[in-house]
Structures are given as C-alpha cells and as structure tokens.
Amino acid sequence: MSFTGPLSIITLVPLLSGLILLVLPNVLPSDISMRMKASVRNVAIGLSSAIFLLTTLIFVGTIGQIDWLSIGMGDYVLETEDPVWLIESIGVTWHLGTDALSFPMIWLTTLLIPISMLVQWDAEDGHSFHSLLLIMEGALIGVFVSLDLFVFYIFWELTLVPMFFLIMIWGGEDRKYASMKFFIYTFTASVLMLVGILVMYFNTVADPNYAGTLTGHHFNLVLMTEQSRVDGLINSEGLRHFVWLLLLIGFATKMPSVPVHTWLPDAHVQAPTAGSMLLAGVMLKMGAYGFLRIAVAMFPESTLTFVPLLVFLGMASLVYGAVVCLGQTNLKRMVAYSSVSHMGLIFLGIATMQPLGFAGALFMMFAHGIISPLLFAVAGSFKHHYHTLEIGSMRGIAHHSPFLAGHMMLGWMGSLGLPLLAGFVAEVAIMIAFWMTFGWWVLLPALTLIFTALYYLTSMQKMIFESDDPHIGKLPDTMHDEEPRDVTWHENAGMFVLGVLTILFGILPFIFWDMMSVWSTEFIQTYLVHAMNMLEASP
C-alpha cells in the first residue's frame, strides 16, 4: 500500500481534485469555464460525500477485520507498510496510519466538509469557494493520518492556506485584519513547533528502514515514539522540557488556550459560515491531537512535570472564556469564546492523567466538533436572513423562523452540556476524572459550567422567546422592511444532520467512546505509568 491505500485516497483525492477545480476554470476558454464553474459545487459535494461514505465504510465495513478495541498502543490500522520515500536523503516517508485518537477526527472531517458546503451552498464565486473547501479537507485529513513528522508539519501549514483565503475573500467587514492575525499567530506558533520537531529529529537513532541516507535520522513518528518509550528521545532533561514547551506553544495556539487565543474570536467573527464551522469543528482539534500524539506521547515526564501549567492553562481558558461570553453581544463572538472555554476542558482532561480524563478529552474533541459547527451554522443562517449578529437586536425568532429557533436551541443545549446530548458525556467524564485526581478542586470547573448555562439561557430567552408582541416580536433594524424568513432548505438539511448526530452521540456515545477509552487506558499504561514511576523514584 503506497499511494493507493484508503487513507492515501481520502487525503490526496480531495487535495488534488480541489486544486484542479480551482485552477481549471481560470485557464480554460471562457465558454467552457462558465459551464464548468456552474457545476463545480456539484462535483465538490459529490466528491466529499463519496469520501465520507468511504470513510464510514472503512469504519463500519471493516469492523470484522479491524478490531478497533484491540489495537495495541503504537500500532496503527491501515498503516503504510514499506517506506515510500519522499526525500530519502533526510528520511522523509509517506507514512500513514490511524488509530482511535485520529480516526474519529478523520470521520468528523469528512462529515463536516459536505455539510459546510451544503450550508453555504449559494456562496459567491462558489467554484473557488467549494474547491477551497476540498483542499481544506485533504489538508485536514493529512494532519490526522500522517505518521511522519515532516509530512505532518507540511499538512499542518497547508491547512492555513485555504482557511486564510476563505477568511480573506469571503469574510465579513474586518476580514483583512482577522485573516492577517490568524495567519501571523498560527504561523509563528507553528514555526516554533518546527524548531521543536527538528530537535527531536536530530536525536533519533539511525533505523535501517527509515533513516535518511545522508543524515542518518528519520522523521518517523512511530519509531520516535517507540524510541522515547524505551530509551528516552532526548537525554538532557532541560532540553526535553524546552522542546515540550516549544511544542506546547505550537499546539496551544492552535487549540487555542488562553494567553494565545486572541486570534480566534476575530477569525470566527469574520470567517464565512463554512470556514467557521471547519475552524471550530476540526482545526482547533488539531492542536489537541498534536499535543497528545507528539508532546504527551514522546515526553511523558515533561508532561507530568508541567501538569500544574496544564491545569492553569485549562482553568484560565475555561473561566475566562465563560466570563467573556457573558458580556458578548455578538452571536459568533459568543460561540467563539465558548469554544475557548471548551478547549480549556480538554486541557483539564489531559491534566488529570487518568484514562477517564483522557477519554473525556477525546470525546470532547469529537462532541465539540459536532456541536460547534451546528452553532456556527445557526449563527451563519441568522446573519444570512437577519443581516446581523447582535444578540439583543432580535426578539422572538421562534415565531418567525421556527426551524432556525429549533436548531439554535438544540445547539445551545448541547453546548451547555444537557444530559443525553453529546457534550454531556465528555463533560461528565472530565469532571469525574478531575475529581479523582484533584479532589474537591473539581468545584472550580464545575461551577464554571453554571456560567456556561447562564450565558446560553439568557441569550436564548432574549433571542428566541421573549417578545413584546407575540405576533411580531422585534426585528433587527438591519432587516429594514424585509419579511423575516426561515432558513433555506440546504441550511436546514446541514443543521438537521448535525442536530441528529448531537442527539445520537448523546444517547449512544459508545460508538466512539469504547475505542477512545480503550486507547486512553493503553496510552496511560504504555507511556505515562513508566514516567510516573521514574518521577517518583527520583523526587
């Protein structure tokens, strides 16, 4: 299996076809390109749905062959067998594989792409818009499947490009500032991460299969993890901590965690709906994914040493995000800060160093990946039909746009962690694990969740229900004399799918939960327990 395995296909096909669809209409003669432009969105959504089906098949159809629950730690399914060289001299290979950490994220990506296309079905210049989304899909999946740090880094940077253009071309009023800030923050952080990766690279030992012919080192993540488990990747403790911190900066900026989160609200508010959905749904999870896959797995001792830092960052994000939410009048900005808050929970889950906490963090990644796109889809359709994002400008949506109101309620309930919805599972798991590790400190994050409930419930009361006159409500000034409408069919369809999944994964979380918790248990046993013993031995 080289470039033809299923994982290669779901990575490369969207990437290449997106590029072709983007370039082709610009070089063909105008009459053909006019017709082509009109059908690009059909091709794009067809392709991405096909890829979604393929990914689902990989999961469902191969349950007999792939026993997700018994994949050992450090093993990957669908892994590329022989090294397929990209640069043999320095040891870069095309090496893909997936496990319980990455697979839900891949599935989520393939799901969100067609849905975000559907929600913004009528985007201006749709031929470029939808092909950029396809490129985005390839880049995002690439991040989750590549087991070679060089390729991982390239995909990591590649996700910036389509998102940057999505914000800059289709964004709101202040799009230039937002896209510039987005680019500078995430780019600078990832360059720091690259320095960390290079230090790791120079400490790898020569491997007969994967080492570069010139340098004698390799970028292979599997081998690096194994080396760090057996011998330790970097001997000097100070250097190890330094690299860990570099990686933390790279990943925490992407997540984002509090001191470096400021790009997120701006990017979200200005981004087009589909862009926001992908940004919140998948791109933020790249940070948590990379943190677990690289920083925690390779430097467990550093992670244990820095647990207080993680707790601090997590708590700060959680509390700060929730408090700032309370004061927001802009719908998207509010949802963006609630994302910051939820990402804080992921850090808390990891900081517990409990299997349950890890599994909770993984499930939070997944659940937030369904709920926050729903929230942004709702905010986007609200903007689309009411031409504003101000929370106070509108009363009684339920009366004018019952579907929009229904989706909005479901999304907000999911986000505040109502039982039987997907977010609840993750929050409860993290809280219990937190209690097991830190005891009654759990009251701090738990009480913050009340804030979350508070800000959702107040805005819900204001926007959806409260109206002076049950027949008219209050319409925002931006409507002028337009008749209020409900959502269009394609927005409705997209949000409907997300809503159903929110409920489905609330009632039947074990679809992904089981493999996540098994993975977490093994992860802790394989990497962390050894490190804990080491630390206890030398206080």
Partner 1 sequence: MILSSSEAAAMAPEMAIMAGILFAILVPNLGDAKARIPLTSFKFPILWGGTRFEITSDPRAPGIISTVSLAVACILSLYAIESSDGKTISGVMEITGFGRFMSMVFTAALAITAAASIYRIPSTKITVDDAKDADERTTLSLMDNRRQVDLHILLMMVALGMSLMALSTNLFFLIVCLELASMASYVLVGFHKESRIGGEAGVKYFIVGSIASATGIYGMSLLYLWAGSLDFAGLSASWAAMDTLDPLAGIGVGLMLVAFGFKVSAAPFHLAAPDAYSGTNAPIAGMLATASKAMGFVAMMRVLVGFAAPNEAVTAWAPALGVLAIITMTWGNLAALSSENPKRMLAYSSVAHAGYMLAALAALGSGLADSNTQDLLQMAIVFHLSVLVLFKMGAFLVLTLLEIEGTGKSISDMNGLARRDPIVASSMFVFMLSLAGIPPLSGFLSKFLMINGLVTTTTDTGAATAANAMSWLQSVDPYFLLALAIVLNSALSLFYYLRIGLLMFFEEPVTDSPLPKAPLLRVAILVSMVLTVLFGLGPASEWLLSLVETAISTF
Summarize as ranges the residues that interact with partner 1 (CB under 8 A).
Answer: 85-90, 92, 150, 153-154, 157, 168, 176, 180, 184, 187-188, 191, 194-195, 198, 202, 214-217, 235-239, 241-242
Q: How far is the CA of 361 from the CAs of 335, 347, 354, 427, 491, in angstroms?
A: 19, 8, 11, 8, 30
Residue type, 361: A
Contact 25, 36 (CB under 8 A): yes
Question: What CA–CA distance (Å, rounded) separates 440 from 104?
Answer: 32
- Smallest distance, partner 1 to C-beta of residue 446, A: 38
- Smallest distance, partner 1 to C-beta of residue 30, A: 17
DSSP state of 253: H
Q: With 0-12 CB in 10 A as exposed, 13-18 as middle and 19+ as buried, what is 502?
A: buried
Question: What CA–CA distance (Å, rounded) separates 528 from 221?
Answer: 18
Count CB atoms within 10 A of the CB of residue 384.
17
- Smallest distance, partner 1 to C-beta of residue 174, A: 12
- Smallest distance, partner 1 to C-beta of residue 89, A: 5
- Smallest distance, partner 1 to C-beta of residue 97, A: 20
Task: Give the residue with the Cβ less far from partner 1, 45 or 158.
Answer: 158
Task: Give the residue with the Cβ less far from partner 1, 54 or 180.
Answer: 180
* Helix segments in 255-401, DSSP class H: 263-270, 273-278, 284-290, 297-298, 300-305, 307-326, 331-351, 355-386, 397-400
Contact 234, 240 (CB under 8 A): yes
- Smallest distance, partner 1 to C-beta of residue 191, A: 7
In terms of Cα–Cα distance, which of 528, 519, 375 is closest to 455?
A: 375
Task: Give the residue with the Cβ less far from partner 1, 15 or 331.
Answer: 15
Task: Give the residue with the Cβ less far from partner 1, 120 or 190.
Answer: 190
- Smallest distance, partner 1 to C-beta of residue 148, A: 11
- Smallest distance, partner 1 to C-beta of residue 220, A: 16
Task: Give the residue with the Cβ less far from partner 1, 88 or 466.
Answer: 88
Task: Give the residue with the Cβ less far from partner 1, 93 or 109.
Answer: 93
**Ramachandran assignment for 204, one of left (phi > 0), alpha (psi -120 to 50 degrees), beta (any other):** beta
Task: Give the residue with the Cβ less far from partner 1, 154 or 446.
Answer: 154
In terms of Cα–Cα distance, which of 166, 109, 112, 111 is closest to 141?
A: 109
- Smallest distance, partner 1 to C-beta of residue 86, A: 5
| Residues contacting 230, CB < 8 A, separation 6+ | none
In terms of Cα–Cα distance, which of 404, 403, 365 is closest to 382?
A: 404
Tokens describing residue 363: 């499930």
Q: At what angle do helices 126-145 and 149-158 cross, to 10 degrees?
A: 160
Task: Give the residue with the Cβ less far from partner 1, 150 or 347.
Answer: 150
The dihedral over CA atoms of 187, 265, 14, 131, expressed in degrees to the nearest 10, equals: -110
Question: What CA–CA distance (Å, rounded) separates 83 from 91?
Answer: 10
Task: Give the residue with the Cβ less far from partner 1, 89 or 461.
Answer: 89
Task: Give the residue with the Cβ less far from partner 1, 215 or 526.
Answer: 215
Q: Is 353 helix (H, G, I), strand (E, B) or coil?
A: coil
Task: Give the residue with the Cβ less far from partner 1, 239 or 472.
Answer: 239
